[in-house]
Amino acid sequence: MRILIFLTLLAVLVMAASCYVSVYSEQPLAFSDPFLNRRRANGFIHADRNVEAISQERIRERNKSPQERQREICEDYYPCELYAFRHGYAAAYKHYFGRRRTK
């Protein structure tokens, strides 16, 4: 019986401590504000405005690796894509397109 009274008293104390509303809990914290001013928002992003960097990015987009080209070819052909799900894209490309000679 004493244990039951003790557990009930303990539960009431935990509930009172967790449900306590203070003046500070009603005010929003400064760091929880989701909106920033423009100066602080752009302060941590440094865009690389170098013309050479932009041109290098365009070159990387144009020149694809051979594996990526093979994967795109295999994705366009449905049986090859199904085979690739089971055995991988390299094996699927070799199975369906490996016998061909391309220039």
Give, in order, the Cα–Cα distances in Å from 77 to each of 80, 86, 90, 95: 5, 15, 14, 12
Q: Please say if the pLDDT value at position 29 is more than 60.
A: no
Range of the domain at 71: 31-98
pTM of the model: 0.40
59 is a domain residue = yes
- Interval 85-89 mean pLDDT: 92
Q: Which amino acid is at 74?
A: C
Q: Please say if the pLDDT value at position 61 is more than 60.
A: yes
**C-alpha of 95 from chain center:** 34
CA angle 95, 65, 87 (to 5 degrees): 30
41 is a domain residue = yes
Residue 3 CA to residue 5 CA, distance in Å, equals: 5
